[in-house]
Structure 1
Amino acid sequence: MADNSYDVIIIGSGPGGYVTAIRSAQLGFKTAIVEREHLGGICLNWGCIPTKALLRSAEVMDYASHIGNYGLTLDGTVKADVTAVVDRSRKVSARLNGGVGMLMKKNKIDVIWGEAKLAGKGKVSVGKPSKKAMEPQHPAPKATKGEGDYTAKHIIVATGARPRALPGIEPDGKLIWTYFEAMVPQTMPRKLVVMGSGAIGIEFASFYNSMGVDVTVVELMDQVMPVEDEEISKLARKQLEKHGLTILTGAKVTKVDKKSDSVVAHVEDKDGKTTPIEADRLISAVGVQGNIENLGLEALGIKTDRGCVVIDGYGRTNVEGIYAIGDVAGPPMLAHKAEHEGVICIEKIAGIPGVHAMDKSLIPGCTYCHPQVASVGLTEKAAKAEGRDIRVGRFPFAANGKAIALGEDQGLIKTIFDKKTGQLVGAHMVGAEVTELIQGFVVAMNLETTEEELMHTVFPHPTLSEMMKESVLDAYGRVLNS
């Protein structure tokens, strides 16, 4: 086999790309991964991981601000050192970036450093790396190879996504930020407008609010975090507002006036009334769009739809030998979806028996604001819209001993069952550490667990997880502690 010839080439080294490359190597394929900017992609370098580091600093800040609630005294004033907070976040990211490089080396995966383009069926042309890769925040990966022409029987596109921009309110990197700028502020703004209340918007709103910034969130839909269950959303909003956030739903930013070091956002409500809001900065968090440009997709006739590559349940495009996974292949645009989608794709290529197509209804979603929100499956509204006869169980944090002991007694666990079959079709949570609890229900749904099996499962005491069982019991009129 020629030196530049591979069984599998993966374009993009985000969570989907690098995990797929590892699984590909495990299956015996000669594998290469092409990266134009930084190993680990947006998630590791500018998304999932560094934002959680920022939010951890915010969480500690919150605890310190209310330390008296725990019977403790702190001499002096707790202040946020924005430079140190950002530096910690970047170091966390850099550590994991290096870890991905080690995984590539360990699994004998070639890293091709540069920007890839499909040059024909089974052909990839790699040019120079992105200019962004030369910036200090983007350490260049240790590459095995660089510019040149490469061939592979199977080419997997995993190029991820970027922030979506609204016409007339395009981010400029100074006054109007995307998550890139919001993650590395040089100074803390005094007042901030966040446009959009999806996971990205509400997480940054929560972070800056905890850092003492006056934050206003503007959401077009009638509820904050629109994809979540309506009841959970209302409880989350109540706690976010109690924490100091201003939330405007059923509203939109129609235009932004820029000043020398501030902006004026013109916010229109559902009745058509417009109110100007002056702030130091505005974060645009109105979603993301797939990176499908300049890849050579059109020349090969690869179908796209609304900015994403069209695939089947196994990552296959309409062109033989070309596949797509992760954000570039459409929603939900989540790292864990990309990883599993990539494993399914490469195992199908390898001909492993029993590989199942992706079931998107079993993909959990997590929002790491304060309080946290997590969910999987159908909302109550969606279940009813499907014509299901359902049972709904609820259990409040205020009735859980561990939550009370933690000083985190505000929240709710909600479960939704099909009344006819006992199938768990949805689970929704708001409160402390629910992003760690949701996996229990994800496992249960994947195993097609019924209410009977969940009710006979022994949960440890005292834990927050006990609320999960109590919520199931409540759906069947058997709740014990509420």
Structure 2
Amino acid sequence: MDNKQTSSDFDVVVVGGGPGGYVAALRAAQLNLRTALVERENLGGICLNWGCIPTKALLHAADTLRRIRHADALGISVSEPQVDFGKVMARSRQVSQRLNRGVTHLLKKAGVTVFMGSARLNGARQLTVTDMQGATEKLGAKNVIVATGARARGLPMLPFDGNRVWSYRDALAAKEAPKTLAVIGAGAIGMEFASFYASLGTKVTVIEVASRVLPASDEDVSGFVQQTMAKEGIAFMTSARLVSASANASSVELSVEQGADKHQLSVEAVLVAVGLTGNTEDLGLENTEVVVDRGVVQTTGWGRTAEPGLYAIGDVTGAPMLAHKASHEGIECVEYIAGRRSGEPHAATIPACVYSYPQSASVGLTEAQARARAGKVRVGKFPLEGNGKAIAIDEASGFIKTVFDDATGELLGAHLVGPEATELVHGFTLASTLEATEAELMETVFPHPTLSEAMHEAVLAAYGRALHA
């Protein structure tokens, strides 16, 4: 094991080295808490090694390919680009490996003791760590933080085999792009991989049991994303139920019901992206008072569980399962342990992003949720075709939408779809965190020419004051 130590003197032991766990460990070390971190596979967790980061490397390649193919619109003539699939995949791995080394360096620099192995609780504050060779080591701590993340949820009729039936991890390790691919689930993971493989020429069919894609998003965003991706050649089957499935040596045969219609599909591979389930097994939680409900550790404020001194953060505590939420919770949890926080926490404003083409991002409530909560609301919607920068870069497809409480001017929700949506949403997140109203947002000066001006116009539009629509 790395930094071998047998000790009962740790102030904090973090179980899990993902974006929640390693950030919690770094913050604990900053606060001069004697800190250990246990990770069974890769520092950085699924997000850095097999999720958020490598998928964005792939999607960047897809975006670059798309821009090259449309360069003629800018007066640049190029021949059809050739894709080296193996090299594209290899670069995504290199990006993850580089960041993994960075996390390793940060933990060492901070003085965090790292144990590589699987942790099991013998009680609230006692753990046994077993490394890959079977050697064990006992640790003790005043506080333990469970940050073990989540894994892909499978389907009984389509068990993952790494060959024809993929999890997101298999989709990141493919040797070549399949000619045909079915994606089961139209959430963020499913839509991102659908977008990537379609850009490489794969014929993609997305199957979603809900009535629309990205069912957690605002309805206007969902509709726009589906319409745009359909133009890219992706087929969608919504309100669709997978009835049966069977994989053989060369294909996967699917039977799908869509209302009264029945469809038979034969594809080279299937990506199952129907959600995640928390990693709560084999942790020894049964030796504590921790409550686990359907794969989710139950917590109250600051990550507290029913067992004093034992905390849980991130995906293992349930939705929304997002890396940045886990990191935020890790910092809050450690600062509570260190006595820097007290009382009950305010609910954090957590943005959500989808990096498919087109990109989409949101923070707060959808329009439907806002109307259900506040009753009377003001909605502003500004099309990117009215934004000078969007037109200049030939990316004028999309819109920004804001939802305000009519009585108070509180920003209840913001929804963006189009170029750099995921880089812009933080502006609305910051406004919400600072409890800015429409008045402050209207008085804010946005630089010209930028895509961010459309954010300002969407606020103005909610009050009938848009200037360029």
TM-aligned CA deviation for residue 128 of structure 1: 2.4
Determine if contact 1:314/1:358 at 8 Å carries over to the other structure: no
SS of the residue corresponding to residue 265 of structure 1 reads strand
Q: Which amino acid aligns with 1:189?
A: P
Q: Which amino acid aligns with 1:171?
A: F
SS of the residue corresponding to residue 392 of structure 1 reads strand
Q: Which amino acid aligns with 2:345?
A: A
Determine if contact 2:27/2:331 at 8 Å carries over to the other structure: yes
CA distance in 1, matches of 2:123, 2:48: 31
Q: Percent identity?
A: 49
Residue 278 of structure 1 pairs with residue 280 of structure 2? no
Aligned residue number for residue 141 of structure 1: none
CA distance in 1, matches of 2:432, 2:117: 41
Determine if contact 1:160/1:326 at 8 Å carries over to the other structure: yes
Determine if contact 2:157/2:246 at 8 Å carries over to the other structure: no
2:126 to 123, 126, 137: 123
2:53 to 49, 55, 58: 49
TM-aligned CA deviation for residue 8 of structure 1: 0.3
Determine if contact 2:296/2:318 at 8 Å carries over to the other structure: yes
CA distance in 2, matches of 1:436, 1:205: 21
2:402 to 395, 415, 424: 415
Residue 96 of structure 1 pairs with residue 85 of structure 2? no
Q: Which amino acid aligns with 1:458?
A: V
Q: Which amino acid aligns with 1:346?
A: V
Determine if contact 1:379/1:426 at 8 Å carries over to the other structure: yes
Q: Which amino acid aligns with 1:170?
A: P
Q: Which amino acid aligns with 1:147?
A: T
Residue 33 of structure 1 pairs with residue 37 of structure 2? yes
TM-aligned CA deviation for residue 255 of structure 1: 1.7
Aligned residue number for residue 140 of structure 1: none
TM-aligned CA deviation for residue 295 of structure 1: 0.5
Aligned residue number for residue 302 of structure 2: 314
SS of the residue corresponding to residue 320 of structure 2 reads coil
SS of the residue corresponding to residue 346 of structure 1 reads helix
2:208 to 200, 208, 219: 219
Residue 293 of structure 1 pairs with residue 296 of structure 2? no
Determine if contact 1:344/1:355 at 8 Å carries over to the other structure: no
Aligned residue number for residue 247 of structure 2: 258
Aligned residue number for residue 229 of structure 1: 218
Q: Which amino acid aligns with 1:10?
A: V
CA distance in 2, matches of 1:52, 1:160: 20
CA distance in 2, matches of 1:4, 1:35: 18
TM-aligned CA deviation for residue 270 of structure 1: 2.5
Measured on the aligned residues, the alpha-carbon RMSD in Å equals 1.4
CA distance in 2, matches of 1:313, 1:471: 34
1:17 to 17, 21, 33: 21
After superposing on structure 2, the runs of 4+ consecutive aligned residues of structure 1 that deviate more than 4 Å are 353-356
TM-aligned CA deviation for residue 129 of structure 1: 3.4
1:1-400 equivalent positions in 2, closer than 5 A: 3-74=7-78, 76-129=79-132, 147-271=136-260, 273-353=261-341, 357=345, 359-360=347-348, 362-400=349-387
Determine if contact 1:395/1:414 at 8 Å carries over to the other structure: yes
Q: Which shows bigger deviation, 165-174 or 154-163?
A: 165-174
Determine if contact 1:115/1:130 at 8 Å carries over to the other structure: no
CA distance in 1, matches of 2:132, 2:215: 37
Q: Which amino acid aligns with 1:309?
A: V
Aligned residue number for residue 135 of structure 1: none
Aligned residue number for residue 440 of structure 1: 427
TM-aligned CA deviation for residue 5 of structure 1: 2.8
SS of the residue corresponding to residue 163 of structure 2 reads coil
Determine if contact 2:7/2:138 at 8 Å carries over to the other structure: no
Cα 1:456–1:270 shift into 2, 3 Å? same
Q: Which amino acid aligns with 1:414?
A: K
SS of the residue corresponding to residue 255 of structure 1 reads strand
Determine if contact 2:6/2:138 at 8 Å carries over to the other structure: no
SS of the residue corresponding to residue 154 of structure 2 reads coil
TM-score using structure 1 length: 0.94
Cα 1:354–1:440 shift into 2, 3 Å? farther
Cα 1:126–1:472 shift into 2, 3 Å? same
CA distance in 1, matches of 2:404, 2:235: 34
Q: Which amino acid aligns with 2:293?
A: D
TM-aligned CA deviation for residue 236 of structure 1: 1.0
Determine if contact 1:344/1:356 at 8 Å carries over to the other structure: no
Deviations 1:310-330 (A, max 9, x none): 001210000001100000011
SS of the residue corresponding to residue 307 of structure 2 reads coil
CA distance in 1, matches of 2:6, 2:282: 27
CA distance in 1, matches of 2:147, 2:341: 24
TM-aligned CA deviation for residue 4 of structure 1: 4.8
TM-aligned CA deviation for residue 355 of structure 1: 7.2
Aligned residue number for residue 453 of structure 2: 466
Deviations 1:78-99 (A, max 9, x none): 1211100000000000000000
